[in-house]
C-alpha cells in the first residue's frame, strides 16, 4: 500500500464551504427562475389605465 497523506483540515473545510456555497447558489438560481408570467388579461388591464380600487 502506498502512503497517502490526509488532506489538511483547513483545505477540507474550504472545500466543504465551497461545495455548500455552490449548492446554495444553484438552489437560489432555480428558485428565482421559477415564476409565473403575467396573464394577458392582467397586462391589458394595466395598459388600459383602469383604476382598480
Task: Report the alpha-carbon distance of residue 46 to residue 33 in Å, rounded.
Answer: 24
Task: Report the alpha-carbon distance of residue 17 to residue 25 in Å, rounded.
Answer: 12
Beta-carbon contacts of 45 under 8 Å, excluding residues fewer than 6 positions away, are 52
pTM of the model: 0.55
pLDDT for 51: 61
CB-CB contact of 11 with 17 (8 Å): no
pLDDT for 29: 94
Q: Report which DSSP code applies to 51.
A: -
pLDDT tens sequence across 3-45? 566 679 999 999 999 999 999 999 999 999 887 888 888 787 7
pLDDT for 20: 98
| DSSP-H helix ranges across the chain | 9-33, 40-47
pLDDT for 35: 79
Amino acid at each position: 500500500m502506498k502512503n497517502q497523506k490526509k488532506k489538511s483540515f483547513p483545505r477540507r473545510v474550504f472545500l466543504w464551504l465551497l461545495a455548500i456555497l455552490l449548492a446554495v447558489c444553484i438552489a437560489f438560481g432555480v428558485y428565482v427562475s421559477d415564476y409565473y408570467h403575467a396573464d394577458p388579461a392582467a397586462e391589458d388591464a394595466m395598459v388600459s389605465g383602469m383604476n382598480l380600487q
